[in-house]
Amino acid sequence: MSSGGIINPKSWLFNDKVEAFNLFISLPSVQCSPKLVKSITSGESKTSVGSIEMGKSKIGRRFEGKVAIVTASTQGIGFSIAQRLGLEGASVVISSRRQKNVDEAVEKLKAQGIEVLGLACHVSNAQQRKNLIDQTVQKHGKIDVVVSNAAVNPSVDAILRTKESTLDKLWETNVKTAILLLQAASPHLSKGSSIVFISSINAFQPPAGMAMYGVTKTALLGLTKALATELAPHIRVNCVAPGFVPTHFASYITSNETKRKALEDMTTLKRLGTTEDMAATTAFLASDDASYITGETIVVSGGTPSRL
């Protein structure tokens, strides 16, 4: 534990050895109920927190005939995004590092009637990135939506004490590989297609303990603006900045109800976000409903302060 009651998030996202999950500076660590986490990560079509029902009857079919790639999508926010796009008619291409996770996620999506291709793809692996695009194009002949969702936070060090190798890993996973994937995808992006980056509320005020991670998420806001200009008028580029969402990594700290309450109290809506909340906003930005929106970031944080 670090001082001030903050659990040291030595390895936060995308590390098997989850030590903590603190998103905001000076925030206590967070507890999420096993029931909530289960409903969010299991691929069930309903959430127990009542934000939305992702039953087929409650959502549209905005992605009929569309092909959507979502990176880091075998659980958590990425999985829910793939699920939402799929339930709305998209043929989805999901991926993550571990084949076993890919296979399990594919089965869950297929069970919901979703057309899905699953591939192992560590976003830092050039060959696997190429394979992801090649197989998608081979199977579907085009790409309509790319959701760039993968990220890492391997350090809690202050920025000026962060090792060069850690800086490299952060920039590579969180920013560079997103660009490289889009470079590979861009020749196949159809007219009217859409790109969505998953940033973080930490992009607006990178917190201590996650400062460099936050800065890489800030970079995605700039990347969104720059690529929106570069790819206009036929391709839109937008970004989602989630607030706190109890994903897989939050389960480590599910024993402390008090701390979870403190985090909920930081939100205006007095609850944590769900992966489905993030999926709904991502689907909106990726859809034609957002056809006059590009270069924008939507903060999905239940009213947690981020910016004016």
Catalytic residues, which ones?
Answer: 213
Contacts of residue 107, defined as CB under 8 A and 6 or more positions apart, other chains included, come to none
**Is the bond leading into 246 cis (omega within 30 degrees of zero)?**
no
Q: Which is nearer to ligand NAP, 204 or 244 (CB)?
A: 244
Of 6, 9, 11, 13, the one binding ligand NAP (CB under 6 A) is 13
User: CB-wise, 151 or 189, nearer to ligand NAP?
Assistant: 151
Give me the least distance between CB of 191 and ligand NAP, in Å please: 28
Q: Applying CB under 6 A, does 149 fall inside the site for ligand NAP? A: yes
Beta bridge partner(s), residue 95: 119
Q: Note whether 248 binds ligand NAP by CB under 6 A.
A: yes
Task: Write down the least CB distance from residue 126 to ligand NAP, Å.
Answer: 12
The residue type of 269 is L
Whole-angstrom CA distances from 232 to 208, 229, 272 are 36, 5, 35
| Min dist. Cβ of residue 234 to ligand NAP (A) | 26
Nearest to 291 by CA among 233, 225, 241, 239: 233
* Binding-site member from 85, 245, 279, 286 for ligand NAP (CB under 6 A): 245
Shortest spacing between CB 25 and ligand NAP, in angstroms: 14
The identity of residue 195, as a single letter, is I
Region binding ligand NAP by CB under 6 A among candidate stretches 57-65, 106-114, 240-248, 258-266: 240-248
Q: How many Å apart are CA 202 and CA 219, to the nearest integer?
A: 11
Distance, CA of 86 to CA of 23 (rounded, Å): 29
Which residue in 123, 175, 189, 285 binds ligand NAP (CB under 6 A)? Answer: 123
Of 197, 300, 196, 205, give the one whose Cα is nearest residue 245.
300
> Which positions from 67 through 96 interact with ligand NAP, judged by CB under 6 A?
71-78, 96
Site for ligand NAP in 101-120 (CB under 6 A): 101
In the complex, the smallest distance separating the C-beta of residue 70 from ligand NAP, rounded to whole angstroms, is 10
Interface with ligand NAP by CB under 6 A: which residues? 13-14, 23, 71-78, 96-98, 101, 121-124, 149-151, 173, 198, 200, 242, 244-245, 247-249
